[in-house]
């Protein structure tokens, strides 16, 4: 089911399962806007999000589940921490508790990772990013694997008659399609967050080149990550494609064909040097957007994640010197030369 934005897709994926008084679990490293959606806006609706460290051991993760927990949510590649989510581990954990696993697969796209093959039940994407690739439309999508058993006793809204829609029982009438049909009949009808026809047309154009573009994004990003890892003015680089990265083994499992074009790295000297570096780039665009055909940079702590507390920033793996680099499809030598211009401007 296509939506008007990636945030709309994330919102409806949860509202289709939870009502006031319910809870769900999410990885602490997810996108800052989604953190605010889950921690603040949904809280006002009476739905609690329990944030967990996705790298915690199973005993700690088990302790996060409650009788009213209805789902688990994580990102294949976290934005901007670039952590790799262990889909199989969380799928097994969620299923032991009779709830579905929802995966935001925006950065990976279906070209680099197919979460259903690792046990996920529902996948969401912000199509505004790589799926479009050209920054010409805003959109999102919810994809249902059709494999979860909604009759297990935890989801009466799927089984009992829906008086707002002619008394239909979604599981009885639609079987494996119960989740996505309920989302369409109830939530899309009530919220009206469907994409405009022209947006859908532009998205379809972008999808036609997605496989070719994703391959080149990965090639360019690997070159850039290696360059940054060697640079004397860089404290750390987060890119799972690097052999030195904490998530490299997980990336080989879940992202064997590449880790997207997004890199996060921390500049020595903290926030001041990060801002100065970005101000002296000429090819790269300083924009909030990411996963574009153009190379883009962003300072997460003062932009996409500025509403987070210091504790939340730390949990998301973000410090003042961190820059999110979205490597585009320009000539890689031009991209590296531009990065060197930024470095030359700082002490």
Q: What is the mean pLDDT of each run of 10 residues along the chain (347 residues)?
A: 98 98 96 92 98 95 98 95 96 98 98 98 98 96 98 98 94 98 97 96 97 98 98 96 98 98 94 91 94 94 72 77 95 98 94
Q: Give the relative orientation of helices 271-279 and 332-344 as an angle to the nearest 10 degrees.
A: 130
Please count the residues of the chain: 347
Phi and psi dihedrals of 154, rounded to 5? -90, -10
Element (H, E) at 325: strand 322-326
Count of CB atoms situated within 10 Å of the CB of 336: 16
Whether 2 and 75 have beta carbons less than 8 Å apart is answered as no
Tell me the domains of the chain and their CATH numbers.
Answer: 2-199 (3.40.640.10), 210-344 (3.90.1150.10)
- pLDDT value of position 304: 67
pTM: 0.95
Burial class (CB in 10 A: 0-12, 13-18, 19+), 89: middle
- pLDDT value of position 68: 98
- pLDDT value of position 305: 66
Sheet holding 285-286, edge to edge: 234-238, 262-267, 322-326, 296-298, 285-286
CA atoms within 13 A on the CB side of 72: 30
CA distances from 71 to 19, 152, 167 (A): 12, 14, 25
Whether 144 and 180 have beta carbons less than 8 Å apart is answered as yes
Handedness of CA 193, 195, 197, 199 (dihedral sign): positive
What is the rounded CA–CA span in Å between residue 70 and residue 23? 6
Both tokens of 116, joined, read 């259903």
Whether 293 and 261 have beta carbons less than 8 Å apart is answered as no
């Amino acid at each position: 089911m296509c939506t008007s934005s990636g945030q709309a897709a994330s919102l409806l994926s949860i509202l289709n399962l939870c009502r006031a008084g319910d809870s769900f679990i999410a990885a602490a490293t997810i996108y800052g806007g989604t953190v605010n959606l889950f921690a603040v806006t949904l809280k006002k609706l009476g739905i609690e999000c329990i944030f967990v460290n996705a790298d915690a051991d199973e005993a700690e993760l088990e302790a996060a589940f409650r009788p009213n927990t209805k789902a688990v949510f994580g990102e294949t590649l976290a934005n901007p921490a670039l952590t790799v989510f262990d889909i199989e581990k969380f799928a097994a954990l969620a299923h032991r508790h009779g709830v579905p696993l929802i995966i935001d697969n925006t950065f990976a796209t279906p070209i680099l990772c197919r979460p259903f093959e690792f046990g996920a039940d529902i996948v969401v994407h912000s199509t505004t990013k790589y799926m479009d690739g050209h920054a010409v439309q805003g959109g999102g999508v919810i994809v249902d694997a059709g494999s979860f058993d909604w009759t297990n006793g935890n989801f009466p809204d799927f089984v009992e008659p829906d008086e707002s829609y002619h008394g239909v029982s979604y599981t009885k009438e639609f079987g494996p399609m119960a989740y996505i049909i309920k989302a369409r009949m109830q939530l899309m009808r009530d919220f009206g967050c469907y994409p405009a026809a022209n947006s859908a047309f532009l998205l379809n154009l972008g999808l036609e080149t997605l496989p070719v573009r994703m391959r080149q994004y990965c090639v360019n990003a690997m070159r850039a990550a290696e360059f940054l890892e060697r640079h004397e003015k860089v404290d750390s680089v987060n890119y799972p494609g690097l052999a030195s990265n904490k998530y490299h083994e997980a990336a080989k499992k879940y992202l064997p064909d590449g880790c997207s074009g997004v890199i996060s790295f921390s500049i020595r000297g903290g926030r001041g040097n990060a801002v100065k570096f970005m101000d002296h780039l000429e090819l790269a665009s300083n924009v909030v957007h990411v996963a574009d055909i153009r190379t883009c940079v962003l300072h997460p702590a003062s932009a996409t994640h500025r509403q987070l507390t210091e504790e939340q920033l730390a949990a998301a793996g973000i410090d003042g010197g961190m820059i999110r680099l979205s490597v585009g499809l320009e000539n890689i030598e031009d991209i590296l030369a531009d990065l060197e211009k930024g470095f030359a401007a700082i002490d």
